[in-house]
């Protein structure tokens, strides 16, 4: 392995904070084992995990004059084989590490190995590269309006507010197309309701088309009733949204965006 430039101490300290995190990091015994396996001295075994790890890696880097053994430690700590029964732990650690490593021009892949990349200069750059939710939605070809309205929340993996902003983007599009000023279910009723709706998803000429129109209208009202109204009034800590929930909700909202794109204003 060619010589790898030493990590800045602030980068190294933050890496150790992730790997030695109180709730999500390695245990004290696991840190001791990993250091021993990498032939790195453990000068402060009685200290807190993050401080113990930082001191050990800092001393090794100073002795070596490079970060080769630090990288070797990360490789051993992030070996995917160790996470076969806890994939979510690997993903969470990789995500947190990548936000830090971006400032060193590095990125940790799914194989647990580091690759060179352009160096991030801002926190938003680092978050964009590391954002799990944003990356997964891009892979699903999510509607561009969701990425526009929720970009900051997606890059921060802020599931609660990403879903909240996505439902607001639906209301905004209906208002733009209809010229109405209402919100939520009342907006949907005024825009799509009645025998001669202001907005239509199809020609409404057949029973099948009228059923489709009514079904999509009910899906819109369901979106507001389930997510918009709940999120607007419930504290975040009492309305938990996990990663899978957020992906499903945002995918559903993306579908409604595409349907709204094709709806037309009637002669009414």
Torsion angle defined by CA atoms of residues 88, 89, 95 and 97, in that order, rounded to the nearest 10 degrees: -170
Least confident of 27-31, 138-142, 143-147, 170-174: 138-142
Distance, CA of 49 to CA of 70 (rounded, Å): 16
Tens digits of residue pLDDT in 54-86: 999 999 999 999 999 999 999 999 999 999 888
Torsion angle defined by CA atoms of residues 132, 135, 140 and 142, in that order, rounded to the nearest 10 degrees: 100
Mean pLDDT of 217-223: 94
Least confident of 23-37, 60-74, 83-97, 148-162: 148-162
pLDDT above 60 for 42: yes
Selected residue with higher pLDDT from 5 and 229: 5
**Rg value, the chain, Cα:** 25
pLDDT above 60 for 218: yes
Distance, CA of 189 to CA of 199 (rounded, Å): 10
Mean pLDDT of 141-153: 83
Distance, CA of 259 to CA of 206 (rounded, Å): 18
Distance, CA of 4 to CA of 69 (rounded, Å): 9
Distance, CA of 134 to CA of 140 (rounded, Å): 10
What per-residue confidence (pLDDT) applies to 268? 64
Identify each DSSP E strand in 81-129 by its residue range: 106-108, 114-116
pLDDT above 90 for 99: no
How would residue 1 be classed by pLDDT, with cut points 50, 70 and 90? low
Mean pLDDT of 138-162: 79
Distance, CA of 228 to CA of 225 (rounded, Å): 6
What per-residue confidence (pLDDT) applies to 233? 47
Per-state percent for the chain, helix, strand, coil, to nearest 5:
65, 5, 30
Selected residue with higher pLDDT from 135 and 15: 15
What per-residue confidence (pLDDT) applies to 180? 94
User: Do the strands 264-265 and 199-200 form a parallel or antiparallel pair, or are they unpaired?
Assistant: antiparallel
Tens digits of residue pLDDT in 195-211: 899 999 999 999 999 99
What per-residue confidence (pLDDT) applies to 32? 93
What per-residue confidence (pLDDT) applies to 213? 96
If 0-12 CB within 10 Å is exposed, 13-18 middle and 19+ buried, where does residue 71 land? Answer: middle
Q: 74 near 114, Cβ under 8 Å?
A: yes
What per-residue confidence (pLDDT) applies to 175? 96
pLDDT above 80 for 228: no
pLDDT above 70 for 179: yes
If 0-12 CB within 10 Å is exposed, 13-18 middle and 19+ buried, where does residue 96 land? Answer: buried
| 187 contact partners, CB below 8 Å, separation of at least 6 | 171, 174, 175, 178, 180
What is the average pLDDT score of the chain? 87
pLDDT above 60 for 122: yes
- Find, among 143, 152, 206, the residue nearest to 170 by Cα: 143
Distance, CA of 139 to CA of 142 (rounded, Å): 8
Distance, CA of 84 to CA of 87 (rounded, Å): 6
């Amino acid at each position: 392995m060619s010589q790898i430039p030493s990590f800045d101490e602030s980068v190294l300290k933050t890496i150790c904070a992730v790997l030695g995190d109180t709730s999500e990091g390695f245990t004290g015994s696991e840190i001791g084992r990993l250091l021993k396996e990498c032939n790195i001295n453990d000068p402060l075994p009685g200290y807190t995990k993050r401080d113990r790890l930082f001191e050990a890696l800092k001393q090794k880097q100073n002795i070596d004059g490079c970060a080769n053994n630090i990288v070797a430690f990360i490789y051993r700590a992030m070996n995917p084989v160790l996470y076969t029964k806890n994939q979510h732990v690997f993903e969470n650690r990789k995500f947190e590490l990548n936000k830090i490593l971006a400032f060193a021009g590095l990125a940790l892949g799914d194989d647990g190995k580091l690759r060179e990349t352009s160096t991030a200069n801002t926190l938003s750059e680092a978050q964009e590269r590391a954002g799990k939710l944003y990356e997964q939605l891009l892979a699903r070809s999510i509607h561009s309006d969701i990425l526009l309205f929720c970009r900051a929340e997606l890059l921060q993996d802020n599931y609660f507010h990403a879903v909240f902003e996505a439902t607001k983007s639906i209301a905004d599009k209906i208002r733009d197309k209809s010229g109405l000023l209402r919100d939520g279910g009342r907006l949907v009723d005024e825009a799509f309701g009645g025998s001669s709706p202001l907005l239509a998803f199809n020609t409404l000429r057949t029973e099948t088309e009228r059923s489709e129109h009514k079904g999509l209208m009910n899906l819109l009202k369901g979106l507001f009733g389930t997510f918009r109204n709940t999120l607007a009034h419930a504290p975040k800590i009492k309305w938990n949204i996990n990663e899978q929930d957020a992906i499903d909700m945002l995918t559903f909202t993306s579908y409604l965006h595409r349907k709204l794109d094709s709806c037309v204003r009637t002669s009414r």
